[in-house]
């Protein structure tokens, strides 16, 4: 689906009334959900006594309570009550080979059996992992491993400042870059400013300039205005658009960011935490054919194993980590982390990416997503009274039912609209979950190379069920 059509369809949804499930239907769904998930419920009650909110992970809070998982296998998840799900959460994107991928897990298990965990010193796997990343993303010359996507962003911003000697950074609203102090602004819904920035001193955000998505003029103005205020060190982008493409980018956007960065002596940082090795084997930079100066990578590097993040890019830029010639400000960008680049993580990285390459995982996952998106849209066409639609960027499927993240903040009832639309989307997600299909936050589906005809059939059945529950107008 083309950019203009996606934007128009999202607008149609946010400007038309919602289609809530009848209250008695929601009650019945909650009852059905709970009856088959008593162990999860029990664990949630117990968790509330010792864990904040009774749940730690951002992606876990399903309605009416979070599900405790037992294990994953291929494209399936199994919860602690033994319920099976066709998984499209994929751990928040990193799983593209499939869960519990034996060739990878066996390498890790063997290493632990024979060599134990990590030593705190370097290992050959750092080099193997780095070479594998370079092979798949040819714009990358040097790599520094860190421990998460958020850390990779923090490191990239520091590197950019040392390299350019400039101070400001540009962040696009609706883009997500983890939880670092300088980037938690304009989250989720573009235009919401510091709504999610509690606990962050305003000074930490003083050098962050925000620009609305696809605002070409606003972006140029940000660069111009910054000329008198310390200049732009870097413009940071989710190349496929905020929230993994929920706020899609204009086809010319990335090229324009590149142009302005060149014009103003700034660095373009492409956040490939989601898109890396998923949007294409070579990530968003290959998909959009735009060459960033710095790339941030995260969870997909280690394919579900922990301590995963990296900042990577041009040699002369990364060299500022060591001080010396590349450092315009004459200093060294300090980045550290005890568990960064540990042998187990880098081993997981090396083999995971090698298998992604060898199995052609990005292509296979994308082919399935194409098919599912098309079938979903055909199904939605059977209900012309509903404005639902789906689009995909390779193996990332975005579906819009209530389009809660696309509400225009200038509306006087914007906050209420977002909350209400989110609530309704959660009840839709509940119906789908009850039929054994797990999606991300009621708006997204990531596919892996193992999703097959059975998965397709079960997924469409679940959606058909949901549509049958929404009263016709
Ligand atoms: C685009 C993007 N950048 C950065 C991050 C932060 O990564 P992490 O959760 O590993 O800190 C995420 C997490 O989902 C992300 O989607």
Model pLDDT, residue 325:
56
209 and 170 Cβ atoms separated by less than 8 Å: yes
pLDDT tier at 322, thresholds 50, 70, 90? confident
DSSP per residue, 220-260: HHHHHHHTTTT-EEEEEE-TT-HHHHTBPPPTTHHHHHHHH
SS3 470: coil
Q: How far apart are the first and last CA of the chain?
A: 27
Residue whose CB lies within 8 A of the most ligand 1 atoms, among 270, 273, 305, 393, for a mutation test: 273
CATH number of the 102-358 domain? 3.40.640.10
Domain ranges of the chain: 3-97+360-469, 102-358
Q: What is the dihedral of CA 393, 399, 405, 406, to 10 degrees?
A: 80
HSE-up (13 A, CA, CB side) for residue 180: 18
Tell me: the pLDDT tens digits for 173-231? Answer: 999 999 999 999 999 999 999 999 999 999 999 999 999 999 999 999 999 999 999 99
Whether the model clears a pTM of 0.85, i.e. scores above it, the answer is yes
Residue 232, beta-bridge partner list: 168
Smallest Cα–Cα separation from 454: which of 430, 433, 472, 437?
Answer: 437
Going from the Cα of 20 to the center of ligand 1, the distance in angstroms, rounded, reads 31
Residue 144, beta-bridge partner list: 311
Atom of ligand 1 lying closest to residue 153 CA: 4
SS3 35: helix
pLDDT tier at 324, thresholds 50, 70, 90? low
CATH number of the 3-97+360-469 domain? 3.90.1150.10
Tell me: the pLDDT tens digits for 395-404? Answer: 999 999 999 9
Residues with CB under 6 A from ligand 1: 92, 148-150, 153, 176-178, 238, 271, 273-274, 298-299, 309
Residue whose CB lies within 8 A of the most ligand 1 atoms, among 279, 299, 337, 440, for a mutation test: 299
DSSP per residue, 368-424: HHHHHHHHHHHHHHT-TTS--EEEEETTEEEEESS-GGG--TTSTTHHHHHHHHHHH
Mean pLDDT of 367-384: 98
Backbone angles phi, psi at 312, to 5 degrees: -150, 165
389 and 377 Cβ atoms separated by less than 8 Å: yes
Going from the Cα of 134 to the center of ligand 1, the distance in angstroms, rounded, reads 21
Longest dimension (CA), the chain: 68
Give the Å distances, CA to CA, from 52 to 66, 178, 256, 296.
13, 19, 42, 29
Count of beta carbons in the 10 Å neighbourhood of residue 100:
14
Backbone dihedral region of 186: left (phi > 0), alpha (psi from -120 to 50 degrees) or beta?
A: left
Is residue 330's pLDDT more than 80?
no
Model pLDDT, residue 15:
96
- Burial of 203 from C-beta contacts in 10 A (0-12 / 13-18 / 19+): exposed
Model pLDDT, residue 442:
85
């Amino acid at each position: 689906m083309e950019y203009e059509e996606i934007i128009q369809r999202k607008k149609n949804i946010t400007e038309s009334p919602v289609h809530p499930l009848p209250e008695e239907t929601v009650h019945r769904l909650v009852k059905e959900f709970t009856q088959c998930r008593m162990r999860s419920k029990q664990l949630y009650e117990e968790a509330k006594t010792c864990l904040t909110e009774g749940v730690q992970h951002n992606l876990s809070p399903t309605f009416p309570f979070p599900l405790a998982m037992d294990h994953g296998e291929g494209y399936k998840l199994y919860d602690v009550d033994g319920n099976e799900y066709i998984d499209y959460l994929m751990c928040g994107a990193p799983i593209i080979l499939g869960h519990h991928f034996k060739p990878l897990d066996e390498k890790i298990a063997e290493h632990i059996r024979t060599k134990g965990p990590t030593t705190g010193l370097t290992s050959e796997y750092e080099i193997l992992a780095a070479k594998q990343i370079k092979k798949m993303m040819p714009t990358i010359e040097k790599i520094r491993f860190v421990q998460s996507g958020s850390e990779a962003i923090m490191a990239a911003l520091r590197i950019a400042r040392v390299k350019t000697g400039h101070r400001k950074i540009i962040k696009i609203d609706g883009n997500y870059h983890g939880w670092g102090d300088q980037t938690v602004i304009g989250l989720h819904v573009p235009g919401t400013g510091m709504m999610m920035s509690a606990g962050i001193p305003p000074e930490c955000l003083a050098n962050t300039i925000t620009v609305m998505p696809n605002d070409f003029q606003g972006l140029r103005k940000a660069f111009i205005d910054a000329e008198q205020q310390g200049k732009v060190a870097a413009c940071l982008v989710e190349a496929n658009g905020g929230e993994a493409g929920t706020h899609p980018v204009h086809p010319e956007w990335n090229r324009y960011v590149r142009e302005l960065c060149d014009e103003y002596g700034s660095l373009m940082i492409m956040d490939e935490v989601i898109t890396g090795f998923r949007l294409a084997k070579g990530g968003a930079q290959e998909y959009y054919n735009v060459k960033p100066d710095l790339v941030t990578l995260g969870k997909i590097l280690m394919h579900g194993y922990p301590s995963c993040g990296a900042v990577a890019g041009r040699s002369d830029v990364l060299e500022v980590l060591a001080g010396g010639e590349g450092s315009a400000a004459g200093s060294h960008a300090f980045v550290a982390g005890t568990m960064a680049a540990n042998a187990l993580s880098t081993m997981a990285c090396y083999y995971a990416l090698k298998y992604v390459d060898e199995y052609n995982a990005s292509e296979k996952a994308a082919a399935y997503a194409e098919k599912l998106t098309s079938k979903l849209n055909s199904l939605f066409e059977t209900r012309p009274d509903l404005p639902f639609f789906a689009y995909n960027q390779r193996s990332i499927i975005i579906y819009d039912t209530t389009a809660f993240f696309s509400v225009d903040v200038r509306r006087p009832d914007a906050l209420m609209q977002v909350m209400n639309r989110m609530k309704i989307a959660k009840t839709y997600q509940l119906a789908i979950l009850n039929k054994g299909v797990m999606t991300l936050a009621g708006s997204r589906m990531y596919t892996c190379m193992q999703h097959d005809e059975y998965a397709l059939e079960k997924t469409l059945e679940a959606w058909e069920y949901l549509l049958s529950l929404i009263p016709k107008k």
